[in-house]
Amino acid sequence: MSLATETPSTVPDSDVRTYEVRTFGCQMNVHDSERLSGLLEDAGLARVEPGLPEGAADVVVFNTCAVRENADNKLYGNLGRLAPIKERRPGMQIAVGGCLAQKDRDTILKKAPWVDVVFGTHNVGSLPALLERARHNQEAQLEILEALEVFPSTLPTRRDSVHSGWVSISVGCNNTCTFCIVPSLRGKERDRRPGEILAEVEALVADGAIEVTLLGQNVNSYGVEFGDRFAFGKLLRACGSIEGLERVRFTSPHPAAFTDDVIDAMAETPNVMPVLHMPLQSGSDRVLKDMRRSYRSKKFLGILDKVRERIPHAAITTDIIVGFPGETEEDFQATLDVVEQARFSSAFTFQYSKRPGTPAAELPDQLPKAVVQERYERLTALQDRISAEENARQLGREVEVLVTAQSGRKADETHRLSGRSADQRLVHFSVPEGAEQPRPGDLVTVTVTAAAPFHLIADPADASAYRLRRSRAGDAWDRAQAESCAVPAPGGGKGVSLGMPALPPRD
Ligand code: SF4
């Protein structure tokens, strides 16, 4: 999913304190950062202008991750660079939140005593009050809660994208995968009521969004808290009847809890996109058992067959961990076999590394780094080949692309714009001479003319091979641009071209 910053930044006047939020980790964190930004803007701060030197913001917030390798080194490196800057600017404040803060707590203040606020995953909403208290008392504030007080989605949010929004349906996880720190940091699963979720989706759509992604650590167990095990499929169907909502996505499901009613809901709800992110983690049943993942490879592949039977063009992506403690060459071969059979369109592949506080960190038979690296390279080579083959199968296919608004050096060279197809593939396309330029949030229909492992290219021969559908999201982009530039809003009318940067191709 694109994490582009697409809303034009607020230009602060010199009396307004500015902030910057730096995000590490998963989509949950990206969405939490939108909330942190919303809270700070509600408190009267303005986002710092992009491109200014490090430390230009009055408040720097780190939203940290404890899942990825070296998360703590990365954080302390960043904090170390800010220490001398803060010394020169005493009014500056630094806050650290997210999973690593929840885990490390007062260690952060011991290692980096120039930090002003440490807050956890359960009290995101306290950030403005903690910053104010730290400023007033001239003393660092540490506040970590053990359980959620307010469901985070009720907090103000500053969304990063006009056309797409994240909506949390649950937080926390009731599973106990042995490599994962999430259950101990995010707590037990808490489900939001369907009515609240749908009201948020409707509000987003009214604001101009045409795409939403429903977020949860394990979306298939949604409803467990209020006793409806079919709640997730029903939620997808309910999203299908929201007028103006064109694309519904979700992440992440869990193979153990993935039921046929969800496949039916996906197949029968036209705005639920033909894409599924289904974490495999390992193709070896023995390793899955050690990971405490309760499905087995046969069941996993069976789910993919069912999905493809009902949704033939579904693009299926996955997560895989290489080198889990005790993984033998035979176990690894089982993973390669499943990958070969599963034909994922792409995969997030990770080298296992110990996470203190997780059961797997205590397991014997931790593998030498060189073994893990060598297996990882074999796995990525295989998946890259499959991704290239699967993308090559898209040649000649007509795709509708939701245009995004990122820019890059390569895009400047190629003059291509970029976006995502319905099945979430990254598409770089050119606008034929004389044809109307799309705005971010508009939809263009083009035919795929070239393919690489990580993206598709569509270069229409002429204007007849290019169709533009101007959308409400494009109109909302125009309005947001106009507000930020203080020029009259075009009201979504045609003929106002604000120019558009594009995504750099990944290759
Ligand atoms: S399902 Fe497993 S990997 Fe996913 S959040 Fe829960 S414990 Fe972690």
- Strand 247-251, strand 398-403: pairing: unpaired
Question: What is the whole-number distance in angstroms between the Cα of residue 172 and the centre of ligand 1?
Answer: 9
State percent of the chain over pLDDT 90. Answer: 60
The answer to whether the beta carbons of residues 225 and 189 sit under 8 Å apart is yes
CA triplet 224, 226, 230: central angle to 5 degrees? 55
Q: How many residues does the chain have?
A: 507
Say what the pLDDT of residue 406 is. Answer: 66
* pLDDT of 148 above 70: no
CATH number of 153-392: 3.80.30.20
What is the number of the ligand 1 atom nearest to the C-alpha of 180?
Answer: 8
* pLDDT of 68 above 90: no
**Res. 407 pLDDT band, cuts 50 70 90:** low
DSSP three-state, residue 62: strand
Average pLDDT over residues 106-131: 89
Mean pLDDT of the chain: 86
**Res. 54 pLDDT band, cuts 50 70 90:** confident
Average pLDDT over residues 18-30: 86
- CATH 2.40.50 for domain 398-485: yes
* pLDDT of 150 above 50: yes
The answer to whether the peptide bond before residue 284 is cis (omega within 30 degrees of 0) is no
Average pLDDT over residues 351-355: 86
DSSP three-state, residue 21: strand
* pLDDT of 504 above 70: no
State percent of the chain over pLDDT 70. Answer: 88
Residue of the CA atom closest to atom 2 of ligand 1? 177
Tokens standing for residue 66: 């404890």
Give the range among 11-25, 103-117, 285-299, 381-395 with minimum mean pLDDT.
Answer: 11-25
- Map out the domains of the chain as residue ranges: 18-143, 153-392, 398-485
Say what the pLDDT of residue 10 is. Answer: 39
* pLDDT of 451 above 80: yes
Question: What is the whole-number distance in angstroms between the Cα of residue 181 and the centre of ligand 1?
Answer: 8
CATH number of 18-143: 3.40.50.12160
The answer to whether the beta carbons of residues 212 and 255 sit under 8 Å apart is no
Q: Which of 168, 173, 348 to mutate to test the pocket of ligand 1 (most atoms within 8 A of CB)?
A: 173
Say what the pLDDT of residue 24 is. Answer: 85
pTM greater than 0.85: no
* pLDDT of 502 above 50: no
**What does the alpha-carbon distance between residue 228 and residue 80 come to, in Å, rounded to a whole number?**
48
Say what the pLDDT of residue 120 is. Answer: 85
Cα torsion angle, 82, 86, 92, 98, sign: positive
Kindly state if the Cβ of 175 falls inside 6 Å of ligand 1.
Answer: yes
Average pLDDT over residues 124-131: 89
* pLDDT of 128 above 80: yes
Q: Which of 26, 29, 179, 180 to mutate to test the pocket of ligand 1 (most atoms within 8 A of CB)?
A: 180
**What does the alpha-carbon distance between residue 194 and residue 225 come to, in Å, rounded to a whole number?**
12
* pLDDT of 439 above 50: yes
**Res. 74 pLDDT band, cuts 50 70 90:** confident
Average pLDDT over residues 62-76: 80
**Res. 317 pLDDT band, cuts 50 70 90:** very high
Kindly state if the Cβ of 502 falls inside 6 Å of ligand 1.
Answer: no
Question: What is the whole-number distance in angstroms between the Cα of residue 294 and the centre of ligand 1?
Answer: 11
